[in-house]
Amino acid sequence: MQIDKIRDQMLDEFFDGILALESKEECFAFFDDLLTLNEIKMMVQRYQVAKMLYEKKTYSVIEKETHASTATIARVKRSLFDGNNSYDMLFKRIELEKNDQTNNDEE
């Protein structure tokens, strides 16, 4: 993994801090304090690109909806398909949660 190049106690503590967040509101507040608006927009854009690639959307659709460059889309695509499978894990978990909520609502 690329991140192994910088992995140390400080990075572990940073991720422990993120994992300690308990709600979406706490995430909003923390990331608002941590990042600039442009940094947040960039992260959200890359996440949306990954999601759309995962859903098999075309580059032209992704460019139009996210305003991401083809270079950004290509970079995210490499991570999505040749990375650590973290996007796949995340998207599957989100889908499972949606299905669980739907099933609970039907009961």
Whole-number Å distance between alpha carbons of 1 and 9: 17
Question: Confidence class of residue 19 from pLDDT cuts 50, 70 and 90?
Answer: very high
* Single pTM value for the model: 0.85
Q: What is the mean pLDDT of the chain?
A: 94
Helix H or strand E encompassing 40: helix 37-54
- Residue 72 tokens read as 């950004």
How high is the pLDDT of residue 104?
A: 77
Task: Show the DSSP H helices in the chain as ranges.
Answer: 9-20, 24-34, 37-54, 59-66, 70-82, 86-106
How high is the pLDDT of residue 102?
A: 78
Whole-number Å distance between alpha carbons of 12 and 75: 25
